[in-house]
Amino acid sequence: MKPGERLKNARKKSIGTKQTTKAVQKGAARVVFIAKDAERHVVDPLMRLCAERNVEVILLDTMAEVGRACGIEVGSASAAILEE
């Protein structure tokens, strides 16, 4: 299964860096997906937080790919699969 498929098939997810950061802080995020082409100042704090909390990070090539995997028409810098 491709990484984006995993996100697409997830029942519960957060979309966007603000929502995903909150999910990681609450301990609700199982896996975080971050777009390689997202602006570093937007996603770097999230990447550091994931490292601190031992949350798996999967890099996808583009923001458009993250958005598509979430089922939205626009790109997203990050998203997460949440605990059921």
- Can you give the residue range of the structural domain that contains 33? 3-82
> What band does 50 get if pLDDT is binned at 50, 70 and 90?
very high
Res. 3 pLDDT band, cuts 50 70 90: confident
Model pLDDT, residue 34: 98
Q: Give me the percent of the chain exceeding a pLDDT of 70.
A: 100
Helix (H, G, I), strand (E, B) or coil at 81: strand
pLDDT in tens, 16-39: 999 999 999 999 999 999 999 999
Q: Please, what is the average pLDDT of the chain?
A: 95
Please list, residue by residue across 14-29, b when 16 or more beta carbons sit within 10 angstroms of its beta carbon and e when fewer do.
Answer: bbbbebbbebbeeeeb
- Say if CB 78 and CB 20 are below 8 A apart: yes
User: CA-to-CA distance for 45 and 16, rounded, in angstroms?
Assistant: 13
Total of domains in the chain:
1
pTM of the predicted protein model? 0.95
CATH of the domain at 47: 3.30.1330.30
